[in-house]
Structure 1
Amino acid sequence: MLDRPHLYIDGQWLAPQQAGHFEVFDPSDASLLARVAAASAADVDLAVSAARRAFDHGPWPRLSGAKRGAILRRIADGIRANLEDLAVLEVRDNGKPLPEAQWDIADAAGCFDFYADLAERLDGEERPIALADARFRASVVREPVGVAAAVIPWNYPLLMASWKVAPALAAGCCMVLKPSELTPLTALELARITEAAGLPAGVLNVLPGLGGEAGAALVEHPGVDKVAFTGSVPTGSRIMQAAARDVKNISLELGGKSPFIVFADSDIEAAVEWILFGIFWNQGQVCSATSRVLVERALYPALLERLVAETHKIRIGNGLEPGVLLGPLVSAGQHAKVSAAIAQGIADGARLLCGGQRPADLPEGWFLQPTVFADVPLDSDLWREEIFGPVVCVNPFDDEAEALRLANDSAFGLAAAVMSADLERCERVARKLQAGIVWINCSQPTFSELPWGGVKRSGIGRELGEWGLDNYLETKQITRYESAEPWGWYIK
């Protein structure tokens, strides 16, 4: 069992003030993996105060972008130097297969490198603005927003932390990071890596703890200027309400029920491969998972047959075992939630083609077979609500207009995908899909250079790319009067 008895506050490893802890379990066998320090509201206050001192009086916001970028690159190097250990820890904490974890950790390092580049570009960025009134000279500058709070989910523990920490640090902000209580371990390792990279004390503080106590206290703290959250719609709504009291800057990346439109001229093997990747990667615990597949009727029967055949071939097991491509769900609670959704879908009349059960040879842990439904009622929760598990719903359509109508008939708008040999049609459909992210002839590729976020109930704002940096910057105009002539409004 791992013991993590300390919080990381102001560059120090401190015991929580109320001496609390919580337990973390290995999803593959439900065994106790770690006991972790639990932050209380008092610890949150200590961490926010440390971040405030670091921002108001410390060197970090006042360093050049180049110097901040150099430290971000050292953080990236530290992540890469520990990639294998971090990946194994992520598997034991989250349950995902090792190749996925290795991909995630490498991606996290790349995210720090990307924002190191953007930090450098902030130097000398002051932009002169030509004014109609020549008596004035004006410029626009961007400055760090201040103390940022980041609350991250359990599905990509280190990667989601990096998506928020890297741009915040690049901008010159100081941050308090609250990882999920289900998967806090790699966030604590990130604190060690940033410390070794030379990040000044107080710039990054890491507070594992329960959402209802540490998370709530953090987003409501008056010393926090900015809240960045990734997670569920209900929690995001509560964060909006809490932030409204102090009119805090917020960005929210919330749920999804993403459609994948497959036209009949698509290559069936490519379509099945991308459907599998779009829903079974990370056990379907992906906000952007393309869980609603719409297939043109001429291709529908053949695609269903191939999809079921390939789904049966997916190896399920402990993520550390070679060849495993589907690990356990993250927790007993998540397993129960997804299982209940499957049962309700069957009761609602959806046709279960495969999966839906615990694998017979895996009695321990929180495993669930990859699950395929067809002919799903359009008013069922299975079709309309985010399941966040390895469950895909497949329905037919007759023409492009119907495909778009069905795809856009959702409260969510995070991502969408379209597949066809007709690229002109793909581009046309992509522009009509109501989503912040659209993939053509693929599903789920994610790049640090591109914006990530959605419309409707899928959130507010964008992460990644230059848009992710904008989350942590305020824009200021500076205007001066240059004329030798008096203004002469009151004093003639």
Structure 2
Amino acid sequence: MTVQTAKPAALPAFIGGEKKNLIGGKWVPASSGETIPVINPATGGSLGSIAASGSTDVDAAVAAARAAFEGEWSSWTPDQRRKLILKIHDVLLENFDELAMIETLDMGAPLARTKPLSGWTSQVLQFFAGQVGAGTVAAPENSLPGDFLTLRYRPPVGVVGGIIPWNGPLIGLWWIFGPALATGCTAVLKPAEDASLSVLRIAELMTEAGVPDGVINVVTGYGKDAGHALAEHHGVDRIAFTGSVGTAQTIVRASAGNLKRLQLELGGKSPDIVFADADLDKAVPGAAMGVYTNSGQVCVAGTRIFVQRPIHEEFVARMTEFTKTIRVGNGLDPDTQLGPLISQRQLDRVLGYIDVGNKEAKLAAGGNRLGGDHADGFYVEPTVFAGATNDMTIAQEEIFGPVATVIPFDTMDEAITLANATPYGLAGGLWTENLGTAHKVSQAIQAGTVWVNCYGVLDPSIGFGGTKMSGYGWKGGREHVESYLYDKAVYLNLG
């Protein structure tokens, strides 16, 4: 398997140079003057730099968000906020080819993945526009003596801090900005230092669309500096974080100072169960891409594939052949299906797990680095390990790369037990033609989302979340919007 190369393409004008923070409607460098290089993971080449922000910059962003929350923004009507979100929708769709290319250049996902996100972006923005007004006033009856009117309000919580990962910033930022705009909150977003460019460009377009100064703020930098400062800041009322369990535990401790609300979406080691009656024409590519999508850099990836023993050998053979057909390469090539990993660090991590897998199980496909040295990008072959057991390292630890572990099982009860034998509970899947099996197993899997005869589909009006060590809180749906509000009761004595 070789790396698909791409013809030279004209880069968006936004690419290159030093990118600054958006604070209070102004683009400003980090107070330290320090920057972080931006590397194209497909080539190892430079895409410019971003601000290496710290606590001083976070202080300024939070102050700007607080001033906006308590200022003009608080007087905006629901109709004005709804129209603003729809204006942002139109501006982004007009510029989405540029946004898709920026995302591809910055984090490696192929244009075949990033361009279709225009449809998802349209859907999610229309969803949040439709949720404006979630803080409706109610006037419940009361049992107080005298003449009292009791009201229930749902005001916005205030300043929201968001920390998102590098594996899909075009998607991740809307779980912060969308509900903030819908409810009247303001936001300070810290994107991952490995992939901040598309977030910065979207923030630029949002200001052009008419978002008032300070309502959205973007501060780039390392997690240990800017991220930690945002998590512990007493001026932040809510933190939404997506990332690793270890970082989340640090954020939980940092948030204790003012008991800020938390929403955490963390790691996963999701099971995908293939029963003997499954349609393998659908289950093989479906389960494979449940692992390989975004080069395996997806928190819900179904990397533990449990296959019922009567079809185990056939499934492994067919998945191996399917894996060999996948085109890996530069995301600017329209035929590329899988791009590079995000960084040399992530490549080293994935290759380390492949080395472990070679000692634990049987390598059925892949297992090699592609593309030569650092200058050729951070590519790895999609990989299949067969004949594995659920207690192996490659079956228990999140690899975050295109590495599938196929594990045989005999009975439904065994499959359920194995699927739940993990500290994580983010997602899961199963493939069967039996409705009873589908219902029983989907109910038994301990996960926030379960897919049946499909994998990885997402509707923002439904949402998703995790259980166990995969976090808490809900993204999408009405519950997501309501988590940006708090409850207030008002007693009016009319006597």
Q: TM-score range by the shorter chain?
A: over 0.9
Contact 1:60 1:68 in 2 (8 A): no
**Within 2, Cα distance between the matches of 1:4 and 1:78?**
24
Please give the per-residue CA displacement for 1:106-162, whole angstroms capped at 9, x wherever unaligned. 42332122101101x437x21222334464442322111100110110000121011
Name the CA distance, whole Å, in 2 between partners of 1:97 and 1:386.
Answer: 23
Cα offsets for 1:235-289 (capped at 9, x unmatched): 0110001001221111011001110111111101100121122111100100000
Q: Higher mean Cα deviation, 181-190 or 371-380?
A: 371-380
Is the contact made by 1:38 and 1:210 (CA closer than 8 Å) also made in structure 2? Answer: yes
1:131 aligned onto 2:142: yes
Matched residue, 2:395? 383
CA contact (8 A) 1:359 1:368 kept: yes
**Residue equivalent to 2:378:** 366
Match of 1:82 among 91, 95, 102: 95
Partner of 1:316: 328
CA offset digits 1:15-36 (Å, max 9, x no partner): 2221111101000111111211
Three-state SS of the structure 2 residue aligned to 1:44 is: helix
Letter in 1 for 2:329: G
Instruction: Give the Cα separation in 2 of the matches to 1:355 and 1:479.
Output: 67
The counterpart of 1:157, out of the listed 169, 192, 216, is: 169
**C-alpha distance in 1, partners of 2:362/2:479?**
42
Query: Which of 239, 247, 256 is the matching residue for 2:268?
Result: 256
| Correspondence for 1:489 | none
| Distance in 2 of aligned mates of 1:179 and 1:132 | 49
Which AA in structure 2 matches 1:358? R
How far residue 446 of structure 1 moved from its aligned partner, in angstroms, is: 0.8
CA deviation after TM superposition for structure 1 residue 359, in Å: 2.5
Match status 1:27 vs 2:41: yes
Give the match for residue 468 of structure 1.
Answer: 480
Letter in 1 for 2:54: S
The answer to whether 1:350 aligns with 2:361 is yes
Distance 1:28 1:281 in 2: 16
Task: Tell me by how many angstroms 1:8 deviates.
Answer: 0.7
Range that drifts further, 365-374 or 209-218: 209-218
TM-score normalised per structure 2: 0.94
SS of match in other structure, 2:214: coil
User: Retained in 1: the 8 A contact 2:351–2:369?
Assistant: no
Q: Do 1:61 and 1:144's aligned partners in 2 also have CA atoms closer than 8 Å?
A: no
Residue 51 of structure 1, CA deviation: 0.5
**Contact 1:352–1:372 (Cα < 8 Å) also in 2:** yes
Alignment counterpart, residue 144 of structure 1, candidates 139, 144, 156? 156
Unaligned runs of 5+ in 2: 1-14
- Partner-residue secondary structure (3-state), 2:109: coil
Amino acid at match of 1:100: R
Worse-superposed segment, 136-145 or 198-207: 136-145
2:17 equivalent in structure 1: 3
**2-structure distance, mates of 1:183, 1:63:** 32
CA distance in 1, matches of 2:347, 2:463: 31
* Other-structure match for 1:235: 247
Which residue matches 2:6?
none
Deviation per CA, 1:70-95, whole angstroms, max 9, x where unpaired?
A: 11111111111111111011000000
Q: Aligned partners of 1:384, 1:244: CA distance in 2, in Å?
A: 30
Question: Does the alignment pair 1:451 with 2:463?
Answer: yes
Deviation at 1:412, TM superposition (A): 0.3
Distance 2:271 2:221 in 1: 35
Q: Report the CA distance between 1:358 and its aligned residue.
A: 1.1
TM-score normalised to structure 1 length: 0.94
Q: Over residues 447-485 of structure 1, what are the superposed CA-to-partner deviations in whole Å (9 max), with x where a residue is unaligned?
A: 111121100000110111112112211122223345x5x
Query: In structure 1, what is the equivalent of residue 197 of structure 2?
Result: 185
Maintained 8 Å contact 1:105/1:158: no
- CA distance in 2: counterparts of 1:130 and 1:402, whole angstroms: 52
The answer to whether the 8 Å contact 2:35/2:49 transfers is yes
Instruction: Report if aligned partners of 1:181, 1:208 keep a CA contact under 8 Å in 2.
Output: yes
* 3-state SS of 1:252 partner: strand
Q: Please, what is the CA RMSD of the aligned residues?
A: 1.5
What SS class does the counterpart of residue 462 from structure 2 fall into?
Answer: coil
- C-alpha displacement at 1:360, in angstroms? 5.6
CA contact 1:10–1:50 (8 Å) conserved in 2: yes
Pairing of 1:49-60 with structure 2 (within 5 A): 49-56=63-70, 58-60=71-73
The equivalent of 2:4 in structure 1 is none
Pairs aligned (count): 479
Secondary structure at the aligned position of 2:179 is classed as: helix
Q: What code does the residue aligned with 2:319 have? A: L
Q: How far is the alpha carbon of 1:376 from its aligned partner?
A: 1.8
Rounded Cα–Cα distance in structure 1 between residues aligned with 2:211 and 2:371: 49
The answer to whether the 8 Å contact 2:176/2:187 transfers is no
d(CA) in 2 for partners of 1:15 and 1:66?
35
